[in-house]
Amino acid sequence: GENVEQHPSTLSVQEGDSAVIKCTYSDSASNYFPWYKQELGKRPQLIIDIRSNVGEKKDQRIAVTLNKTAKHFSLHITETQPEDSAVYFCAAGLGNTGFQKLVFGTGTRLLVSP
């Protein structure tokens, strides 16, 4: 089955710096790659997603890149702010029809210091 690895497990940056979180997946048939942000004690919330027919997607300070050949995708956060501090999860989704099962990475705890 699909396996998703996520690095680093923790990431500390200064406010204003950029942060990059990387994920690799094993199943080349996976075609949907969402990123979720989870604040302490809260539910995961989607921040950005990308499909396999797209190489890059941006939404203000957040961008995601996908390299299908290498089977890895990355989350880029620019101009980080203290409110970006949270745990970020990547996931890979498999399936073209019906329910698309998501396999999640183990999470990256991002700490942005003022």
Partner 1 sequence: NAGVTQTPKFQVLKTGQSMTLQCAQDMNHEYMSWYRQDPGMGLRLIHYSVGAGITDQGEVPNGYNVSRSTTEDFPLRLLSAAPSQTSVYFCASSRTSGTEQFFGPGTRLTVL
Q: Which of residues 54 and 113 has its CB atom nearest to partner 1 in the complex?
A: 54
Burial class (CB in 10 A: 0-12, 13-18, 19+), 66: buried
Per the CB < 8 A criterion, the answer to whether 51 and 33 are in contact is yes
- Among 11, 20, 27, 31, which residue sits at the site for partner 1 (rule: CB under 8 A)? 31
The interface region with partner 1, picked from 11-19, 54-62, 66-74, 93-101 by CB under 8 A, is: 93-101
Annotate each residue in 40-79 with x if it binds partner 1 (CB under 8 A) or - if it does not, as one string: --xxxxx--x-x----------------------------
Annotate 49-107 with DSSP letters as a single string: EEETT-SEEEETTEEEEEETTTTEEEEEE-S--GGG-EEEEEEEEE-SSS--EEEE---
3 touches partner 1 by CB under 8 A: no
- Residues near partner 1, by CB under 8 A: 1, 4, 6, 31-32, 34, 42-46, 49, 51, 89, 91, 93, 95-107
